[in-house]
Amino acid sequence: GPAGVISAAKCALTQTARQVKGPVKSPYYTFEDVKNWATNNAALAAENLILALRAHGFDSCAMGGFDEPALKKLLKLSDHHHVVMMIGAGERADNGIYHSQFRFDYDQFVKRV
């Protein structure tokens, strides 16, 4: 119907405008805003990686406290790259990492209200 024709025309005009003018750049976003957005999205992707590792029987550990300049040098990354986190992954040891694992009593920390 007419709505479909109008919708198709709007889509075609938008695509043409983007090809002529390029992507829309908002003056409201600073470099730091974009960096924070990218960092948050990378962290969410890392979370999915961690969940996928666990689903396949591996354990992992996300680490944020590391020497970023040294890591970038080791990986031969340029200054415009930003390392969000490191993730260690592997098979779980039967007896824990350094010694046997223990768990606190559930009722000691969980209270029903």
Average pLDDT per 10 consecutive residues for the chain, totaling 113 residues:
80 83 74 91 96 95 92 94 94 73 83 83
pLDDT value for 49: 97
Domain ranges of the chain: 29-99
- Give CA angle at 70 (67, 72), nearest 5°: 105
Angstrom distance (rounded) from CA 5 to CA 79? 49
Give me the pLDDT at residue 68, please: 94
Predicted pLDDT of residue 96? 64
Distance CA 37, CA 29 (A): 10
Tell me how far apart the alpha carbons of residues 11 and 55 are, in angstroms, rounded to a whole number: 41
pLDDT at residue number 1 = 64
Please report the pLDDT score of residue 30 as a whole number.
Answer: 85
